[in-house]
Amino acid sequence: MHELPQTLVNGLTLGALYGLIAIGYTMVYGIVQLINFAHGEIFMIGGFGALTIYLWLPSGTALSLALPLMIIGGIVASVAIATAAERFAYRPLRGGPRLAPLITAIGLSIALQQAVWAFYPDAKKSRSFPQFEGKSLEIFSNLHIQRGDVFLLIAAPLCMLALGLFVSKSRAGRAMQATAQDPDTAKLMGINTDRIIVMAFAIGGAFAAVAAVAHGLKYGQVNFEMGFIAGLKAFTAAVLGGIGNIYGAMLGGVVLGIAEALAIKYIQDIPGMEQLGGGTWKDVWAFTLLIVVLLVRPQGLLGERVADRA
């Protein structure tokens, strides 16, 4: 049990990352009932946006100074792609069969990956991302936090708090809730629902960009494929927490992250399961958790029953 605190913190940071990306899935789904499978690539492009800014800055710029600009660059790139996807790929299909935007999303996901692969300089292999120098921070003798993760552990709660206040307190946030609950009636109130939908894509994109910067700082690299598995995990987190619920997305992320960290560490200690532990099997345990939760609570941890939506 000596390593339990460390394992939990590892899980928490991973979960915060999943949660930030999951917000994008859950907001878009909550409003237009679309799983935006290109969201993983919107995350990936945020990473490349941040990297581009870093490379533009004079070499030797301290990372702590560059970081705010990198975040802005990542957000601009992700939000631009997310809103363009909404405007040109999804909006023309709105009101059509539900399968059409879903297939479009998968196509867009592949197209964005390949576009980065083909056109970003040297992106055919991983590009290195700046990292904070120095050793990890020692909290206790058995608990260390990587310097890159500190950013994540600050950014994720701040983003969530800001989003929670925005949705519950602001006029636009209330319009967003109204649109999610009943789009036609929202229009009758004078709400421009098209603009609300763009806003949902933009917020999701911005959060994904923050996650991408955190991901870059944590792993020291970005690549054109990084959106696939991260997106899949975040989507799992969104469903686990109850898709459509922003707090559910964060909770689902944290639960998933901690479950993964525990599985990596402890599954191999269970007699007879020595082969099933460690990093190789972590995705299996993540998706197993999803299946188990959905068997017991099909609406997810914080999800509302679908009947309430009618």
Helix pair angle (226-241, 99-119), 10° resolution: 150
Cα separations in angstroms, 235 against 7, 27, 39, 77, 100: 23, 12, 9, 21, 19
Mark the segment that binds other proteins (CB under 8 A) among 48-56, 173-181, 248-256, 277-285: 173-181
CB 253 within 8 A of CB 243: no
- Whose Cβ is closer to other proteins: residue 147's or residue 174's? 174
Measured from the CB atom, the residue of 142 and 168 that comes closer to other proteins is 168
Number of residues that bind other proteins (CB under 8 A): 19
Closest to other proteins by CB, 182 vs 225, is 182
Residue 87: CB minimum distance to other proteins, A? 16
Provide the minimum distance between the beta carbon of 244 and other proteins in the complex, in angstroms, as a whole number: 11
For residues 176-235, which are near other proteins according to CB under 8 A? 177-178, 181-182, 184-193
Measured from the CB of residue 189, what is the shortest distance to other proteins in angstroms? 5
Cβ proximity to other proteins: between 30 and 49 the closer is: 30
Distance in Å, CB of 35 to other proteins, minimum: 22
In whole angstroms, the minimum distance from the beta carbon of 232 to other proteins comes to 29
Give CA–CA dist 27/197, Å, rounded. Answer: 9
Smallest gap from Cβ 84 to other proteins, in A, equals 22
Residue (176 or 258) nearer to other proteins, CB: 176
Per-residue binding letters, 127-166, with other proteins (x by CB under 8 A): ----------------------------------------
- Between 103 and 189, name the residue whose CB sits nearer to other proteins: 189
With CB under 8 A as the contact rule, the residue among 118, 274, 304, 306 that binds other proteins is 304
Residue closest to 89 by CA, chosen among 203, 197, 215, 250: 197
> Interface residues for other proteins in 102-121 (CB under 8 A)?
none
Q: Which residue has the tokens 């802005």?
A: 72
HSE on the CB side for 136, CA within 13 Å? 16
Binding mask 246-285 for other proteins (x = CB under 8 A): ----------------------------------------
* Closest CB 246 distance from other proteins, rounded Å: 13
Is 175 among the residues that bind other proteins (CB under 8 A)?
Answer: yes
Query: Would you tell me which residues interact with other proteins (CB under 8 A)?
Result: 171, 174-175, 177-178, 181-182, 184-193, 304, 308
